[in-house]
Amino acid sequence: TMISNRCYYGLKAVLELAKRDGTGKVTICQIANAQDIPQRFLEAILRQLKEAGYARAQRGKEGGYFLSKPADKITAGEIILLFEGPLVTLGKRSGHTDYPDDVFHHLWTAAESALIEVYDSVNFHDLARDEKTRLSQAAPEYMI
């Protein structure tokens, strides 16, 4: 299943908030730079995350965004569902209706269930930890 850029940026925005969870508020500019997200997309994405109850914002000079619930209580599946809606199964082929008696129907529904199970099994606390590890391994070490 291909996800949209908007959904991918939504996942990356939540990831960045999860990485900085407990360190205070994060500005749109900081999220955009850290995750390479175009700022004009990010404003709308953060608004959507806020309306759905995943993020909160504080206005003003010391303002910014932060998660409104613990990172380990937010799954990738929830964020994908927020931005993509229910997953479109392979069974919904263009121009064809998905008949339950189609020989492939069981295959499509099993595949969709497996995909949802994988997305729902991953939370942002673990993703943030993995991202920090990945970035620290990728950073060259300088000896002085």
The helix (H) or strand (E) run that includes residue 56 is strand 55-58
Amino acid at 25: K
The pLDDT tens digits of the residues spanning 73-97 come to 999 999 999 999 876 555 455 445 5
**Letter string b/e over residues 28-49, b meaning 16 or more CB atoms within 10 A of that residue's CB:** beebbebbebeeeebeebbebb
User: Is the model more confident about 2 or about 8?
Assistant: 8
The SS3 call for residue 27 is coil
Instruction: Tell me the residue ranges of DSSP E strands in 1-144.
Output: 55-58, 64-67
Residue 24 has what pLDDT? Answer: 83
Residue 100 DSSP code: T
pTM score, two decimals? Answer: 0.83
